[in-house]
Structures are given as structure tokens and as C-alpha cells.
Amino acid sequence: MGEVDAAFIQDPPHRPKLSTIQAEGIPIIDLSPITNHRVSDPSAIEGLVKEIGSACNEWGFFQVTNHGVPLTLRQNIEKASKLFFAQSAEEKRKVSRNESSPAGYYDTEHTKNVRDWKEVFDFLAKEPTFIPVTSDEHDDRVNQWTNQSPEYPLNFRVVTQEYIQEMEKLSFKILELIALSLGLEAKRFEEFFIKDQTSFIRLNHYPPCPYPDLALGVGRHKDPGALTILAQDGVGGLEVRRKADQEWIRVKPTPDAYIINIGDTVQVWSNDAYGSVDHRVVVNSEKERFSIPFFFFPAHDTEVKPLEELINEQNPSKYRPYKWGKFLVHRGNSNFKKQNEENIQIYHYKIA
């Protein structure tokens, strides 16, 4: 995270293309069949599973409504985010993250990284979070990462922890639907997260940019984890690269909805049945933008590989196994230490 960055940029900066399609694009899926406990309709749940499977296959992205996350909690975390970022740079940098303490504040101006036009604050879902010391597969040492909490707003830690709990609940619900859509047991993915998950939440602030044609809020990338759950404000700016024709599609904000995208880890688990897709954030010349992604990451010692139930002689494994924590550290070293090496991607584990 930090420059050990979760949204790991894959390429040099990509300036926005003027050919972006202004369309609602990604599917909007109603989760009420599993969140409204007064209704028990097996056919509705079956239809929901099909919708999720279709969205994962065709887009890798979808929005969810009636998701069960209390609106007050979302409003609280959004308010806390705005109050924190409204402080002076000096105050915010008191909780700056660094190589040894990757949770905390980060801004492009302070690090001279002009790749992205934004400032962020990262907060770990589990404290401590266990992560390998090195990417060396023969080194078993583990670090313990802990959170930093700003002095202001006063209830920052409590509000953030409460919100993270709801994000975890929603993540498990989404993963159950994805598992069922693949013909797996509903809780097939649970074992990878139930102990020592490496998930975290990120508060994003994109100030108005005087040169929107020369910068991006976040450059083109794919997310490495299992799921990302995004809360964005009404300003918008997220663009998704449509699989069908590789066009960039602007995602229209839906009030109170969450945007879900599957990451590289689900792509590997599903043996390419579902794929993660490129996305980016464009900046606005007049309005500031806030967003809050939750990155659902497995435990550091998880061996990521195609699931046995999804491979056979006709559909052999397409990836070599890798340890999630080692993969994460390798990518972090490439980003944070600016090592002169290609950032590791899942295609490096692809079986020819």
C-alpha cells in the first residue's frame, strides 16, 4: 500500500482519451433477494446468481443496490473523510505512511509523484495485519502492520472500524453469489479470509485539477485482490474498459449504490472464467471528488491458484500457484522502492 499501492498502477500515466463513451454502462443489480429477510424466494435468488455471473463474465464490474449497508454508516465515513482532508497539509502529514508503516496518509505533492492527482488515507481492516517481510519464498519472517489514527476528527477510528465491518459483510455476500455462479459451494471462498485477511479501506480525495487533459485521478490499472467495493460521490469520474470493444465507459453514479469489481485473485481462482478489467479515474477541473474503496484481500499465506473444482482435462489449470503475501510484497517493493524491475502481474504465473 502507499507506494505499496493496492490499486497498483500497471503502466506509465495514461492521459484521458476524448473518445470516452458517456453511458451508464455497467449492470445495476438489486441484492434484495438476499438482504430482505422477509422475502424467501428461491427463484429470485437463482436469478440474482445468474445476474452476478453474467456481470462478472461480461464486465468484471457491477453496481449493487439494496445491499444492506446502513446509510448512516456511509454518511458517517464520508463526513469523516471530508473533515480529515479539509485540514492543512501539515496536520495530515502527521500521520503519513511510509515503507515500514504503510497505513496512513499519502499525497502526490509530498512525494513528488505526479502520476496520480489525489491524496489518500489507508486504514487496515485487521490490526495487526500480518504480511511477509520479503518476497523471497524461502523467507518465512512476517511483519505486523498497524494503523495510524489522526487526531481529527475525534471519532475517526471508531467510524472507520464500524464501516469496515459492514464492508466485510457485504464482501462475503458478494463472494457467495460469485461462488454459486461458478457452480461452487456458497462459502467456498470463505476459508481464504476468515483468518488474517489483509484487507483495507482507502479514503480518496481528488482536488479540482487545472489541467484535466494532462492528468488522471488514478491511471489505468487492474486490482490485484479478490473484490473492490467502491462508494463514490455524485461527481463521478470512474471509467471502466468494456471487454466487448475495449472502449472506456463512464460509470454514472447511482445514489447510495456500491460499485463492485472483481480482481485478479478471482480471475485466477475461477481459472479465467471471470476476468478483472482495466479501470481509471478522470479528474474534474471544477469540482473536488471523494470516493471510498474497500479492498478485500485474502490472508497473506493464501496460496492463490485455480480451484480444483473448476479444472479438468478439458479445462486444465491456467496458472501456477503463488502466495498472496509474497505477491503483495513484490508489487509493493516495485512501487515503493522504485526498483528497476517490471511490476509482478498474474500473467507472470500464466501457464503457456
For the chain, 352 residues long, give each residue's pLDDT as a single digit of tens.
Answer: 333 343 333 333 444 443 444 445 799 999 999 998 766 688 999 999 999 999 999 999 999 999 999 999 999 999 999 999 999 999 999 999 987 778 999 987 644 445 578 999 999 999 999 999 999 999 999 999 999 999 999 999 999 999 999 999 999 999 999 999 999 999 999 999 998 999 999 999 999 988 777 777 788 899 999 999 999 999 989 999 999 999 999 999 899 999 999 999 999 999 999 999 999 998 888 999 999 999 999 999 999 999 999 999 999 999 999 999 999 999 877 555 544 556 789 999 999 8
Domain spans of the chain, in order of start: 28-349
> What DSSP element (H or E) covers 273?
none
Amino acid in the structure at residue 145:
W
Identify the architecture of domain 28-349 in CATH: Sandwich (2.60)
Helix (H, G, I), strand (E, B) or coil at 80: helix
C-beta of residue 14 within 8 angstroms of C-beta of residue 280 = yes
CB under 8 Å to 226, separation ≥6 — which residues?
Answer: 171, 175, 189, 192, 193, 262, 263, 265, 266, 269, 296, 297, 298
Amino acid in the structure at residue 306:
P
Amino acid in the structure at residue 137:
E
Strand arrangement, sheet containing 289-296: 28-30, 61-65, 258-262, 227-232, 289-296, 200-206, 119-124, 104-107
**Per-residue pLDDT reduced to its tens digit, 259-302:** 999 999 999 999 999 999 999 998 888 999 999 999 999 999 99
